Structure 1
Amino acid sequence: YRDKLAEGFEARGSGGSILSRAINKELLHQCDALDELSATLSSNSSHLDTINISTAWVKLAKLQPPIASVPLGTRTPMPPEVAPLVRLLMGKTLATIHDMTLRQLANCLYGMGRASVKLEAEPNGQHLAAQVEQRLLELAEKEKGLADGRDAAQLWYSLRIRDLPVLKLSLQDIDDWDASAVGQVCLYWGNIGIQLAAAEKELFTQRVVDSLTGLAETTIEGRSDDEACLHALTVWVPGAYRLRLQLPAESLKFLHELLLAMPPSILSSQHQSFAEYGARRRLSVVELTNSLVALSHMSAYVPTSDAIALTAVCLRDLRGCTQANAAGLLRLMWQWRVPCTEAQLATLKRVAEPNGGVLAPGGGSTRQQQQGQLGTHRR
């Protein structure tokens, strides 16, 4: 879904000078690598307008090097190869932010989020964060909310502010958002610990239920979309859990059946493991664990023997398992009485410890490997 956002938002915003349009064309169609993007931005540095800057942020997001899945709420460090580009774009964003539209600002924040930018750690980052918040409020109040769910999804992908008034403005238009945007915002709000009032929870729950009902109807009619099903498992379920939404039994039954429709086989890559899902999609074990843990927190959900067996699938190859994933699996094993070997249990307990790191391909955690390297260095 995030890749779709990037594709849909690259060219958002029209107009500008002839030079601006030429630069945008170059950014969109000729920059297929980070060095090409850097060269284009550097050679046109004094001519970049708000359209170019917002397009460049989204292009940077698309050119990000691949990273392994991480637990919900965890932010990966910024790749060192993108740091110079990030700092160039941050300076340009700060200089032009008061001329940006809501869509352009959404592009910029999306790019920052994909690049794992921590503004508080960057030069002038705190000042830029304050300017972003001020401009966002101005635009949201001027436009009476966030009518386009894609804007909301992009903005909240990067925002880490819990008490921003635009949160209330976001809820004004939630009935007009598509299902993907509802799920994304639900997950992002859960990630940053936003607490919803009872009426807001009811509103969000109803929108999630409506989305799942629509997906269930298409599945029954034989028109199911693998991507939409994957989105339901990896976004709506964990998002609902993190926002403390309680889904009705009918919705949980459908989600349960989606999980069980997945072939119980694990495919391994260099850094993590995947479970096959549908014709073209793969669900990482990290995502599968998140979905199972989230379902287990729903009071109306009662696991079947098949769900317990699916949990056991997650134990076959634990590479890429994080502290949060290990803790979730341990809880499921105890709650659902999932069978496991002594070796699997010992591994999970080790990784589930605070600062346990991520289980590396060699079997030890990244934390252990770092300690071993440090010990060797000291000797």
Structure 2
Amino acid sequence: MGSSDGVRCMLLRGGTSKGAYFVADDVPADPETRDDLLLRIMGTPDARQIDGLGGAHPLTSKVAIVRRSTEPDIDVDYLFLQIGVEEATVATTQTCGNLLAGVGPFAVERGLVEAEGDHAVIRIRLVNTGDVATATFPLENGMPRYDGEASIDGVPGTAAPIELESGGIRPLFPTGNVTDLVAGRTVTLVDNGMPVVLLRPEDVGATGRDTPEALEADAAVRAAVEEVRREAGPLMGLGDVADQTVPKMILVSPPAAGGAVATRAFIPHRVHSSIGVLMAASVAAAVCVPGAVGADGARLPEGEPDAGLAIDVEHPSGILTSRVRVAADDQGVWHATSASLRTARKIFDGTVFPRPRR
């Protein structure tokens, strides 16, 4: 596809991220050709992504590809691609719970699903992980309503609420253990929609109260986190993760702002200014399990985890509340489901033109 061939594209903010959304039929089916096109559209590789749609940060260098699903009881399939910024990489090993917030509205906008009444309920298959999510959001005249009174930390203003529910399919702890010893440190390997590693800040030379900028500037902390990440990847069934964007690495500590637990999230080399939806869901589920890293210092609300708890996960920009239901089955295997409130907004809809060559 040449630079003169425009591609139909919609730019949406989903949660605390921003991405380019495409209907699957509008981009090449061949992964190598598709990835080359997306790199040229986003302006990668370039630290500023000055010649493309990317916003010079992993949180704004994302792509969602959506198609009608052929799976029973599923409306649409959602493939997430994390586009590199300075390096010409396209990663498909993870999904994104923030861009997930925009998938339902995008599917309605593009006519991939029919929606009637005051609310749409869209069943979404997350192609990257095999999970299934349900998105519920308001409609106005058969189209998504973006204006509303819901607010989420990390995004200015208010918007219409989007309820996301997911999880419950895979075991919560990939190794079967609540804690593991990895690179000489006690960690919790957990996957409630996103594979993450929970660490104690002091085990990598941090405090738990560090700013994202301070963590990114501390070479010793980054090296320690990366050492754990590379050893944890194979244990989580991810293989060699040297060139992957998972697992995410999350420092967990006692809360400081009235929440249940405080976090600092490496994604995996930059530090998140807030926290991803599915990262928060994994943290929230893990700290409900006695013995998990972070559980001893967490301040959980009253109630039983198997009946559902609203866990306030603190992050540098505020709090993300993840409602989780956590229980062990008859074989002692832990499972979890999660629900969270997100918002999304359509920013533009039109034609994007890729640059001629990388």
TM-score normalised per structure 2:
0.29
Greater share of residues in strand: 2
Of structures 1 and 2, the one with the larger relative CO (CA 8 A, separation 6+) is 2
- Quick check: which has more Rg, 1 or 2? 1
| TM-score between the two structures when normalised by the length of structure 1 | 0.27
* Higher helix proportion (structure 1 or 2): 1
